[in-house]
Structure 1
């Protein structure tokens, strides 16, 4: 698995809430901040672009400018990092109704443009596959925590008052 191949990772969860309820959460760029160990803050720049501030123990802190590239209400919400024509990553939430429930997926693809991972790969080209695999696993864990958190929030909104 090489960075140039555009490796991907996807997680999914079944949410006991209607698509509209889940959409309200995934289309809010601030929601992932509540759950991610890495994403610290987001803020809109305009109607299509936002800045995300992240932190990682091995990398430090950084900011990226993201552009929304998918906004299909109750279906998909996605963005790219960096230059929309040549991004360093692509992220997407996809929603699918399952009766009164919702299948929620989060997907990401690395590359093709350089990212913070590129420096580590260039410093240790013989370890590229291990570096990429480790980073994908970090993303997978954060993404699973995020979709689980969204599920919990959406389901809590469905619970009858005590």
Structure 2
């Protein structure tokens, strides 16, 4: 898999809680930072509660190889109570992709919720690109290793996604 293929990573979990309860948790844009190994904190940029299409928020991330960086995210899909997606842009031009543009995101993240056996099936995933990201920098340094670099990054992302899902599941089932 190559970067230009817009690789994806996703995981899902069954939660013994109704969809409205799970929806309330996934709409808390600050919640993933509690569970993610990379996302350290989130700050709303717009005073829109509940979320609306176009709502913006700032993310602060850390990775052992990239250090710290900042992103801006835009809610690009909002279907209450079943889908939430946001496009992530390189807020500071650190990865060389030109001005931040949600139509050309570094990644697009999403949650999908469906009723499932008296509870909720929660799917969480990411689509990489088409805009540049930290992954682009790694590929620039070793283009001959692109497929291995992408595979490694997808494994890291899946692990973080599963951590986030497990955290949401614990909170939702606690009531």
Q: TM-score range by the shorter chain?
A: over 0.9
Aligned to 1:130: 148
Shift of residue 9 of structure 1? 0.8
- C-alpha distance in structure 1 between counterparts of 2:138 and 2:126, whole Å: 20
1:142 and 2:149 correspond = no
Could you give the per-residue CA deviations for residues 55-105 of structure 1, whole angstroms, max 9, x where no partner exists? 011110000000001121110111001221111100000000114200000
- C-alpha distance in structure 2 between counterparts of 1:16 and 1:31, whole Å: 19
Paired residue for 2:70, among 49, 55, 63?
Answer: 63
- C-alpha distance in structure 2 between counterparts of 1:134 and 1:54, whole Å: 18
Give every structure 1 segment of 4 or more consecutive aligned residues whose post-TM-superposition deviation is greater than 6 Å.
none
Aligned-partner SS, 1:87: coil
TM-score, scaled relative to structure 2:
0.88
Aligned to 2:98: none
Output the aligned Cα RMSD.
Answer: 0.8
1:40 and 2:47 correspond = no
Could you give the per-residue CA deviations for residues 88-146 of structure 1, whole angstroms, max 9, x where no partner exists? 10000000011420000001100001111111101100110111111111100000010
1:113 and 2:131 correspond = yes
- C-alpha distance in structure 1 between counterparts of 2:135 and 2:33, whole Å: 21
**Unmatched segments (≥5 aa) in structure 1:** 158-162
**Unmatched segments (≥5 aa) in structure 2:** 49-54, 90-100
Between stretches 66-75 and 135-144, larger displacement belongs to 66-75
TM-score, scaled relative to structure 1:
0.95
- C-alpha distance in structure 1 between counterparts of 2:9 and 2:117, whole Å: 26
Name the structure with the higher strand share.
1
